[in-house]
Structures are given as C-alpha cells and as structure tokens.
Amino acid sequence: MKIVVTVKQVPDPNSNLTLEADNTLSREKEVVLDPGDECGVEEALQLKEAHGGEVILVSMGPERAKDAIRKGLSMGADRGILITDPQLAGADALLTARALAAAIKAEGPDLVICGTESYDGSTGMVPPMLAELLGAPQVSFAKKVEVDGSNLKVHRQTADGYQVVEVATPALITVTAAIAEPRYASLKGIMAARSKEIKQLALGDLGIERGEAAETIEGLAEAETRKSGVVIEFDGTAIDRIMAVLAEAKVI
C-alpha cells in the first residue's frame, strides 16, 4: 500500500505562542511536527509493517519545515516532499489543500492520512478539501483502521461512540490521537533519515497560482476573560463554601 501522510510543522505546544506584528502566529519559536500528524505517521508505519508498501510524507511550509519531515523520516517513513514557496506565506486552507493535492496526485497513493485538525490552524478544513480535490472519499475522526485487500474498515469516532465505515481505496482518512501511540525515533532511525530523500517543490512546479485570500483579519481583540473569583485552601470550611455556591446557583 502506498501511503501519503500530510505533516505540518507547528509551534511547539509546550512553548507559549507569540504573535507577529501582522497578527499571524510567530514561526520563530520552537517548532515541531504537529502531534496529531505524528499519530498519522505512526499509523502509516504500522499499516506498512502489516501490509507492505511505502510511506511518503508531504508538507507545505517554509524551508525549515524539512525538520518536521525529517522527524517523520526518522520514525521510519521512506521519503518526503516539501512544497515551499514565498508565495505560500499565510496560505489559507483552500490554497494549502490545492498545493498538497497537486503534489499528492503526482504520487497516486492508495491512502492519504491527515490529522483531524492542526495544532495551530485548528480549522480541520484542509483534509475534506484535499479529499474533494483528489476526488477521493474521506473518513474523518478515524480511531482504528483495518485493511482487507483494497478495502478499509474504519472506526470513526462520534459524539456518543463510533461508526464502522467501509470504504475502498484510494481514500483519505483523518486520524485522532486514539489511533496509535507515536514511536520514538531510534538512533538508527535518526541516522538513516539523514540520507532519505526530501524533494522540494515550488508553486510553479505544481502549476498553481495564488488567488484571492478567502478572508482577511480585520482586527484582534483580547478574548473576554472571566473575572477571577476566590481561591481557597481545602480546610474545614471549604466544603461549606462549595455548598454555598451550589445553593446560590440553585442546583442543590
């Protein structure tokens, strides 16, 4: 099975986010492979281990997004593709999906694996757009995938449980953190990753032009914060204080 995993480089969730002057997220900070995509890489590697094939990582971002690809390669993926072009700075979901789709089409994979939503973008819109542009069916929120020949059986997480979804490949799935626990890259893996291929593509190579941005950020306001209340120690009176709050809220 030929599997493409889309991987995004994002600000490290363990460091604080900062903003640039133009209100875009600062990329100067520590950056990492999106933790959600790391689960996608892991699932792809497990599918390859069970069924054979190849795992290709595709990312769109600045040059240093290579580090995110390299991370996935050190986990065991076979090769990478980086779409990078100054024109892509601040790309919205549709432009991102168009760029990814063009690169992925050229590979003709059986399965495309994306994260359910990215850590920084959090729109969850790139995957369904990508599926449409690839002409592929999609199953979002996958927490388990079984392969039966050219068919997949996917457990799709829902608000009250899950659905069992059957779909033939080629298909696109988005995975939740429940799908697989990402492995640590071994020293051997890290060494091997150094010599793995990362192909670099620009917009022109993909035959794409940047169009009008779908939206403009007109302003930023501080989110409404709740007034902080009182903080008390758990001592002899704490339970009474909680009970008083519950009574005032009329729930007891």
Ligand X SMILES: Cc1cc2nc3c(=O)[nH]c(=O)nc-3n(C[C@H](O)[C@H](O)[C@H](O)COP(=O)(O)OP(=O)(O)OC[C@H]3O[C@@H](n4cnc5c(N)ncnc54)[C@H](O)[C@@H]3O)c2cc1C
Ligand Y SMILES: Nc1ncnc2c1ncn2[C@@H]1O[C@H](COP(=O)(O)O)[C@@H](O)[C@H]1O
Given the rule CB under 6 A, which residues bind ligand Y?
6-8, 34, 36-37, 59-61, 93, 96, 100, 114-115, 117-118, 121-127
Could you tell me the two tokens for 136? 């592929």
Q: Could you give phi then psi for residue 96, rounded to 5 degrees?
A: -60, -45
CA–CA dist 71, 198 (Å, integer): 12
**Distance in Å, CB of 93 to ligand Y, minimum:** 6
Nearer to another protein, 193 or 208 (CB): 208
Could you tell me the two tokens for 138? 């999609």
Query: Token pair 């979901």 is at which residue?
Result: 93
Degrees (nearest 5) of the Cα angle 122, 175, 196?
95
- Contact of residue 94 among another protein, ligand Y, ligand X, none (CB under 5-8 Å per partner type): another protein
Select from 96-104, 114-122, 226-234, 239-247 the region that touches ligand X (CB under 6 A): 114-122
Degrees (nearest 5) of the Cα angle 180, 176, 78?
55
**Distance in Å, CB of 130 to another protein, minimum:** 8
- Contact of residue 96 among ligand X, ligand Y, another protein, none (CB under 5-8 Å per partner type): ligand Y
Nearer to ligand Y, 74 or 96 (CB): 96
* Sites for ligand X among residues 122-151 (CB under 6 A): 122
Could you tell me the two tokens for 236? 């002899």
- Say whether 52 sits in a helix, a strand or coil: coil
Judged by the rule CB under 6 A, the positions of this chain that interact with ligand X are 13, 117, 119, 122
